[in-house]
């Protein structure tokens, strides 16, 4: 009995010793709030404060809650419900964490509303209003990465959510930005194509298109094979050269061949072979007219003296500083005629033909007059050339970085 009593007293002593520090410190428990009004009243009537029912804490709900200089609110559920110092920004990379709220030019950790407010590789969670890892479309990922989602069969593929309407985007699956694959040609480097995987579980990959010497220098002369093919790869004028003397190799796409990223299929156009020094030397071969308005764009109505009607004719296109030029076309008859060479290629379009039978170059592959809305040109083929905003120098640099300037 004595041992048991001692044991009780000893345990009681230990219990008292353990409780002593807690009873003797200055710790005070804050009272839990019961309503939003309590929090508003406690802060001089500031209506941007509320009571968090889950924690019983007063939390800020908007920047107006913060009375300190250059402070902002991180509202819940994404934020901590407290005020923080402002950090100015212009775009997301300026912010060490979170995103740049471009409406006020300040960094935020929570409160996002759009995926565009989040850095690459992240999207806005509609519930917590914070940026989380993931993507809904290719635009959410950095260059060199592809947004992939898990399909019904478990395999990963492009998420396919490119809706511009943000409300529609929120209903899309959230995928992941994956390096080393591609969704389309535009997610590859210039001059590359997105090629489907050969293995069942493989992913597409970017590969350089080796069909032709895209954007390489060439020698501008008729029948030249300096563009890597005896077919219809033409030497094209580089319009980005202010002097108008630079040229580059196009690659044939007249059969519907796909152009790699950064290039698209364009008509290859030339003027007629009729030389001129003025419009009067361009023979009118077009339809009947009474004025220039009756003729195609860039053409003129040639009316003989004393006549009421005339015919539409081309104009003389003379380069700056040149004394003579070439007539524009109005009809197919104005365009140059070609023959089939011994190499089995048409002399101008470089399409295949039957040697000795020139008519095989004047059927479906004949040269026709087309009007670009400003002037009539003779179309001799279609080649892959850079899209607007991209220069051949950019394509060459992507294919051979050692040659970048």
Return the beta strands (E) in 32-128 as ranges.
Answer: 49-52, 57-60, 71-74, 82-85, 99-101, 106-108, 122-124
Per-residue confidence of the chain (405 residues) as pLDDT tens digits?
A: 333 333 333 333 333 333 334 444 555 566 789 999 999 999 999 999 999 988 899 999 988 999 877 888 988 888 889 998 888 999 888 988 888 888 788 888 887 878 888 888 998 888 888 888 998 888 888 877 888 887 666 556 667 665 555 555 666 778 889 888 888 888 888 999 999 888 877 788 899 888 878 888 886 555 445 687 777 888 888 877 776 678 899 999 988 899 999 999 999 999 998 999 999 999 999 999 999 999 999 999 999 998 999 999 999 998 877 889 999 999 999 998 889 989 888 888 888 889 988 888 887 668 899 998 889 999 998 999 999 888 888 888 888 777 676
| Signed CA dihedral, 224, 227, 229, 235: sign only | negative
pTM: 0.64
Please give the Cα distance from 259 to 278 (Å, whole number): 39
Question: Is 174 in contact with 115 (CB distance < 8 Å)?
Answer: no
- Report DSSP state, residue 175: B
Please give the Cα distance from 337 to 369 (Å, whole number): 12
Return the beta strands (E) in 198-303 as ranges.
Answer: 205-208, 235-237, 247-249, 251-252, 263-270, 275-276, 288-289, 300-302
Q: Give me the residue spans of the domains in the chain.
A: 36-132, 138-208, 235-272+335-403, 275-333
ω into 77 cis (within 30 of 0): yes
Question: Is 181 in contact with 204 (CB distance < 8 Å)?
Answer: yes
Q: Which residue carries 């060199």 as its tokens?
A: 144
Closest CA to 161 of 188, 178, 138: 138
For Cα atoms 292, 293, 295, give the angle at the middle one, nearest 5 degrees.
Answer: 70
Report the Cα–Cα distance between both ends of the chain, in Å, rounded: 97
What distance lies between CA 115 and its chain's CA centroid?
Answer: 17
């Amino acid at each position: 009995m004595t041992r048991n009593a001692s044991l009780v007293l000893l345990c009681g002593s230990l219990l008292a010793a353990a409780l002593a520090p807690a009873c003797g410190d200055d710790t005070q428990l804050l009272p839990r709030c019961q309503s939003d009004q309590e929090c508003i009243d406690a802060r001089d009537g500031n209506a941007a404060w509320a009571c968090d029912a889950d924690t019983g804490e007063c939390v800020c709900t908007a920047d107006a809650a913060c009375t300190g200089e250059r402070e902002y609110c991180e509202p819940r559920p994404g934020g901590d419900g407290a005020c923080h110092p402002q950090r100015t920004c212009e775009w997301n990379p300026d912010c060490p964490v979170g995103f740049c709220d471009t409406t006020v030019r300040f960094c935020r950790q929570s409160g996002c509303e759009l995926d565009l407010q989040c850095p690459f590789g992240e999207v806005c969670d509609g519930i917590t209003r914070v940026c989380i890892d993931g993507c809904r479309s290719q635009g959410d990922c950095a260059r060199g990465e592809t947004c992939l989602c898990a399909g019904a069969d478990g395999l990963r593929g492009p998420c396919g959510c490119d809706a511009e309407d943000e409300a529609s985007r929120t209903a899309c699956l959230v995928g992941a930005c994956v390096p080393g694959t591609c969704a389309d040609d535009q997610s590859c480097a210039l001059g590359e194509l997105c090629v489907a995987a050969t293995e069942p579980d493989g992913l597409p990959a970017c590969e350089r298109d080796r069909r032709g010497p895209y954007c390489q220098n060439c020698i501008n002369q008729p029948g030249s094979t300096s563009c890597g093919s005896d077919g219809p790869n033409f030497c094209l004028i580089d319009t980005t050269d202010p002097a108008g003397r630079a040229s580059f190799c196009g690659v044939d796409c007249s059969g519907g061949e796909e152009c790699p990223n950064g290039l698209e299929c364009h008509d290859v156009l030339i003027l007629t072979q009729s030389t001129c020094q003025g419009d009067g030397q361009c023979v009118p071969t077009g339809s009947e007219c009474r004025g220039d308005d009756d003729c195609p764009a860039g053409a003129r109505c040639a009316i003989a003296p004393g006549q009421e009607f005339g015919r539409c004719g081309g104009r003389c296109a003379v380069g700056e500083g040149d004394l003579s030029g070439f007539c524009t076309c109005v009809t197919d008859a104005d365009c140059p005629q070609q023959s089939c060479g011994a190499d089995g290629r048409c002399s101008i379009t470089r399409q295949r033909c039957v040697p000795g039978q020139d008519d095989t170059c004047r059927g479906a592959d004949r040269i026709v007059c087309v009007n670009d809305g400003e002037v009539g040109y003779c179309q001799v083929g279609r080649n892959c050339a850079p899209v607007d905003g991209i220069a051949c120098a950019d394509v060459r640099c992507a294919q051979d970085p050692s040659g970048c300037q």
